Structure 1
Amino acid sequence: MDETFLALPLRPLADAALARARALGADHADFRLERIRSANWLLRDGRPAGTQDTTDTGYGVRVVHGGSWGFAAGVEMTPDGAARVAAQAVAMAKLSAKVIAAAGSDERVELAPEPSYGEQSWVSAYEVNPFDVPEADKTGLLADWSGRLLAADAVTHVDARLWAVQENKFYADTAGTVTTQQRIRLAPELTATAVDSDSGVFDTMRTLAPPAGRGWEYVTGTGWDWDAELAEMPELLAAKMAAPSVEPGRYDLVIDPSNLFLTIHESIGHATELDRALGYEAAYAGTSFATFDKLGTLAYGSEVMNVTGDRTVEHGLATIGYDDEGVRTQTWDLVKDGVLVGYQMDRRIAALKGFERSNGCAFADSPSHVPLQRMANVSLQPAPGGPSTEELISGVERGIYVVGDGSWSIDMQRYNFQFTGQRFFRIENGRLAGQLRDVAYQATTTDFWGAMEAVGGPQTYVLGGSFMCGKAQPGQVAAVSHGCPSALFRSINILNTTQESGR
C-alpha cells in the first residue's frame, strides 16, 4: 500500500464527515477519499511524442436523507472541511426531496442490506508498480519495440503507447465498514501502419495484448509474449495489405477472444446492467432489451452460453475487494445454459427489485463524482475439456476467423449491432486460407449468441478488456475486463465495410 496515501488524514476526515451527516439526520452516509494517478507515454516512429502524468485527489460524501440522495465533494484536508462537505450533501438531499415531491413521485431511496466488515485492506495482484520504474526505462522499452517494427519493410509508421493508472481509495460508512484499497492497471499498445507509396493505399495493425490489472512485469515478460507478437506483425500487416476484399454474405465465424471480448461488453455487459434494464439509465446510450420481466425466461443464446459477472478475478480491470458502497465483491451467473438468470446491480437497485443484497457493482471514477452502478468483469466461460481454436476452425467449410477488435456500432437497447476487427482469415475446408479485408459482422444480440455452436476449452481463454467504458451524465469512465474462449458461430451476416460506407 502506498505510504504517502496512508499518510493522509483518512480517519479524521471520515469521522468528521460521518458525524456531521448523522447529526443532521442522515439515514445513511458514506465517505470516500481517493487519489488517482494516471500517466501516458506516447512515441511516434520511435521518438517521444508526448507524456502526461496527472493526479486527482479529493473526497466525496454521499448521504440518504429523507428518502433522497445527496452528494458533495471537497479537497480541503481538514475535519472542518469534511464536515462542511457532509452538510452540503445533506442540503442537496433535502433539495432533491423537494424536486421529487414536486414531480409527483413518492419513490424513496432504500439500500439493500450489507454486513459491516470493520476495517479491511486490499491490494490488486501486481509485482512492480510502474510508477516506481524510471522514465527512461518506459520510453526506452517503447522505442525498442517501435524499432523492431520499423525495421521491417512492410511497416511505414509505428505509434507506441503505454498507459498506467494507480488508484488509491479509502472508504468509511455509518454502518462501520472501513476499507483501504489500491489498484494498479497497465495498457500497452502498438499500432503499425503500412503505406503503398504508389497507390496511396494504407492499412494498420494493432497489438492484441489486452490492458490488464498488472504491473511493470506485464511488459517485461509476465502475462504476454511480446517478442512473438512483434515478430509476426510485419508479415501479417503485409498480407493484410495484399488481401482481397470480402464478398458479403453469410459465413460461419470462429471468433478469437481478442475480438469477442468487445461483443460481450456491448451486447451482454451493458445489457445486463439492471439500472439500464429498468430504464434508470436511459440518457447515455440507452436502456436494454433484457428487461426485468424476462429474468429466468429470456433465451439469450445457445445452451453452450454461460456468462458470469465477476469482481474478484485476478488481474481483472474491474476487480476490487470492496465496491464504492462497502459491498464485498463476488462472482455470480448472468446467463446460464443460454438463459438470462442475473443482473449487475448496486445497493439501491437491488433493494428496488427485492434482492437480498447487491453484487458489488458501485463505482465512481473520481473523488468528485457520485458512485454509479458500473460493469463487473463480464466473461463467457470456456467448455471444460473443450476444443482448441484449431479444432473449431477444422469444423468450418466456408467461414472467417476474426482476430482483434476494431470499430463497432450498437443500438440504444443493446440489440442490433455491427463489429469489425483487426485481422480476418478466410477458412476453407477447415483450414486458414489467407487474409481478407473490409469485414464486419452484423446481427441481433439473441440471434448472434443463439448461433454460437461451440466454445473453446480453457486453453483458448483470454482476459481482454478496456480502460474506457463510458456511462452516465455527466460522463464517467471505468476500466473493465471480459474473459472468453474462442467460439464458433454459424451463418452470421457479413458486410463489406467499403461497400457500406459508399452507400
Structure 2
Amino acid sequence: MGQIDPEFRALPLRQLADAALQRARDLGAEHADFRLERVRSETLSLYDARLEGSMDADDLGYAVRVVKGGTWGFAAGSELTPEAAVKVAEQAVRVAEVSAPINREPIELAPEPVHSDLTWVSPYEIDPFSVPAAEKVALLAEWSAGLLKGADHASARLLQVKEQKFYADSAGTSTTQQRVRVHPELNVMKASATGFDDMSTIAPPVGRGYEYLTGSHWDWAAELAQLPELLAEKLAAPSVEAGDHDLVIHPSNLWLTIHESIGHATELDRALGYEAAYAGTSFATFDQLNSLVYGSPVMNVTGDRTVEHGLATVGFDDEGVAGQSFDIVKDGVLVGYQLDRRMALLKGFGRSNGCAFADSPGHTPIQRMANVSLKPAENGPSTDELVSRVERGLYIVGDKSWSIDMQRYNFQFTGQRAYRIVDGALAGQVRDFAYQATTTDFWGSMEAVGGPQTYVLGGAFNCGKGQPGQVAPVSHGCPTALFRGVRILNTVQEGGK
C-alpha cells in the first residue's frame, strides 16, 4: 500500500478549506464543500518500437461548491492562499445568488455521517511516476520489437494517472485520498491478400502501480507471444454466417456491453431525465424500479466503489460519501440506481451510494458511474464448460467497436476475435461479426454465468458524461457468460446494403 506524497500533505489544505468554508457560512450558505486536488497524468506512445510522443500533465487547484437559497453555486481557483480561497467562496455564493431566480427546484442533499480527518490510499506497490520515463520506454520498445517479428507494425501506449484529493465540508467531514491507475495498450497491424486488420492486448486498465507491467498480475509474455499469430489467423478466417447464434462471451468483451447497457442506463440522473445532453437518458425509468425485468434470473449486478483495484474505487466520493457496494439488478430485476446526494434525497433513498465525481479541480462533481459488475455463479462452470453446451454459436473475445441508442436500449457490439463453436468445441476464427439486440432481450437470453475462476475486472479510463464534458475511470467485472439465440450480423454484407 502506498502513502500520500509528503509534498501534497505539505500544501496548506486545512488553512484553505477553513478560510473558504467559513466565508461561505458567513454569507449564508446552507451547505459548502471545498475540494483541492492534484491530478498528474503521463502518456508514453511508441510506434514500431520507437518513441512517438510523450505527455506529462499536472493539474493543481481547488473548488468551492455551495448551496444558498436552495441553489447551487460553484467556483474554482489555483492561488494557494487563504485570501484567494475566500474570494473563490464569495464567487461561488454569488453564482448561487444570481442563479436563484431561475432555479425551479430547491437543492437539498441526503445526509451523510461526518468523516473526520480520514485518509485512504488505493492499493499499489510501485508509483509509476517514480519510475524513470526512459525505463518505461525501454520496456515498451522491447515488447514492440517482439511483436514486429510477426506483424507489419506495432504500437504501444502507457497511460498513468495519480489523483490526490483533499475534501472538507461545512458539516465537518475532511478526507485525504490518493489513487494510482495504469493502462498499458499494445496493438499489432498486418496486411494480407484478404485485407488489413489489427488486434490489441486484452489486458484491462487497473487501479495498480507500475508493478502491473513487471510483476505476475498479468502474463504479458504469453499474450504478446500469441498476438501476431492470432491476428494472422483472423486475416485468413472466413466471414461470419449471419443469423441467430448462441454466444459465449469472454469478460474482455462483455465488460463494455455492461458499461453501455447497464452502467449508463442505471445512473439515476439519466433515468430521471436530468442528464440528456451527452448520450441521452435511459429506458430504465424510475417508475420501473423493483418491477423491470432487466434480464434472466441468473443476472445479478452490483455497483461497487470499494472493490480492490477498481478504477472507480474510492474511500470517499467528491461529496464526502463513503464508498459502498450496492445492488442494481437482483435475480434479473432492476432494484437500484447509482446516486449522488441530491438524487438520493430527491427520490427518497435516504443516503447516497457515493457516485459523485469531478475529473479536475475546475469541474463541479456530477453523478458518475461506480464499478458496475456482473456477479459470477458460486461454483459455476468454466469457460470450456460453457462452450461445451453450444452446438452452433460463437465465442467472442476482446472489445472493439460499439453503438447504442440514446435510451441505452438498442445496441450493436463487435469484438476483436470470434471463434465458431461447433458441437461444443471451438472451430477456428471468423471475421466481420457484430451482435445486435435490445438491452432486455440480450440480458434475458443469458442462460448461464461462469464461476469465479472466469471473472475478470475490465474497464476504461475515459468514460464521458456531462456538459461541459468530463471523463471518469471505471471498471466492470464479469465472468464468461452464455447467451442463447442472439442475432449476429455480417458487417461486410450489412455495410454493402
TM-score > 0.5 by shorter chain? yes
Question: How far apart are the structure 1 equivalents of 2:143 and 2:432?
Answer: 28
2:34 match: 31
1:433 match: 427
Supply the AA of the counterpart residue of 2:418.
F
Q: CA RMSD in A?
A: 0.7
Matches within 5 A, 1:228-307: 228-307=222-301
Matches within 5 A, 1:39-78: 39-78=42-81
Question: How far apart are the structure 2 equivalents of 1:373 and 1:310?
Answer: 14
1:150 match: 148
Supply the AA of the counterpart residue of 2:335.
V
Question: How far apart are the structure 1 equivalents of 2:490 and 2:100?
Answer: 53
How many residue pairs match? The answer is 494
1:127 match: 125
Deviations 1:15-49 (A, max 9, x none): 00000000000000000001000110000000000
Q: Could you tell me how far 1:200 is from its partner in structure 2?
A: 7.3
Supply the AA of the counterpart residue of 2:135.
D
1:83 match: 86
Question: How far apart are the structure 2 equivalents of 1:418 and 1:97?
Answer: 43
Structure 1 regions of 5+ residues with no counterpart?
Answer: none
Supply the AA of the counterpart residue of 1:70.
G
Deviations 1:347-376 (A, max 9, x none): 000010011100000000000000000000
Matches within 5 A, 1:371-410: 371-410=365-404
Q: Could you tell me how far 1:98 is from its partner in structure 2?
A: 1.4
1:178 match: 174
Report the secondary structure of 1:89's partner residue.
helix
Deviations 1:277-317 (A, max 9, x none): 00000111111000001000000000000000000000000
2:24 match: 21
Q: Could you tell me how far 1:334 is from its partner in structure 2?
A: 0.2
Kindly indicate whether residue 165 of structure 2 is the aligned counterpart of residue 169 of structure 1.
Answer: yes
Q: Say if 2:194 and 2:236, in contact at 8 Å, map to a contact too.
A: no
Question: How far apart are the structure 1 equivalents of 2:128 and 2:63?
Answer: 27
Question: How far apart are the structure 1 equivalents of 2:302 and 2:194?
Answer: 46
Supply the AA of the counterpart residue of 2:494.
E
Supply the AA of the counterpart residue of 1:440.
A
Question: How far apart are the structure 2 equivalents of 1:124 and 1:232?
Answer: 32
Question: How far apart are the structure 2 equivalents of 1:429 and 1:144?
Answer: 41
Q: Say if 2:194 and 2:235, in contact at 8 Å, map to a contact too.
A: no
Aligned partner of 1:93 among 84, 93, 96: 96
Supply the AA of the counterpart residue of 2:168.
A
Matches within 5 A, 1:340-355: 340-355=334-349
Question: How far apart are the structure 1 equivalents of 2:348 and 2:486?
Answer: 39
Kindly indicate whether residue 18 of structure 2 is the aligned counterpart of residue 11 of structure 1.
Answer: no
List, as ranges, runs of 4+ consecutive aligned residues in structure 1 with deviation greater than 3 Å. Answer: none
Kindly indicate whether residue 199 of structure 2 is the aligned counterpart of residue 205 of structure 1.
Answer: yes
Supply the AA of the counterpart residue of 2:495.
S
Kindly indicate whether residue 190 of structure 2 is the aligned counterpart of residue 194 of structure 1.
Answer: yes
1:450 match: 444
2:359 match: 365
Report the secondary structure of 2:415's partner residue.
strand
Aligned partner of 1:463 among 436, 441, 457: 457
Question: How far apart are the structure 1 equivalents of 2:364 and 2:495?
Answer: 40
Question: How far apart are the structure 2 equivalents of 1:457 and 1:438?
Answer: 30
Question: How far apart are the structure 1 equivalents of 2:388 and 2:496?
Answer: 35
Aligned partner of 1:109 among 107, 110, 130: 107
- Between 200-209 and 257-266, the greater mean CA deviation after superposition: 200-209
Supply the AA of the counterpart residue of 2:59.
D
Report the secondary structure of 1:21's partner residue.
helix
Supply the AA of the counterpart residue of 1:413.
Q
Supply the AA of the counterpart residue of 1:311.
R
TM-score by length of 1: 0.98
Q: Could you tell me how far 1:5 is from its partner in structure 2?
A: 1.0
Q: Could you tell me how far 1:222 is from its partner in structure 2?
A: 3.1
Q: Could you tell me how far 1:3 is from its partner in structure 2?
A: 1.1
Supply the AA of the counterpart residue of 1:77.
L
Q: Could you tell me how far 1:502 is from its partner in structure 2?
A: 2.2
Supply the AA of the counterpart residue of 1:119.
D
Q: Could you tell me how far 1:499 is from its partner in structure 2?
A: 1.9
Question: How far apart are the structure 2 equivalents of 1:461 and 1:301?
Answer: 19
Structure 2 regions of 5+ residues with no counterpart?
Answer: none
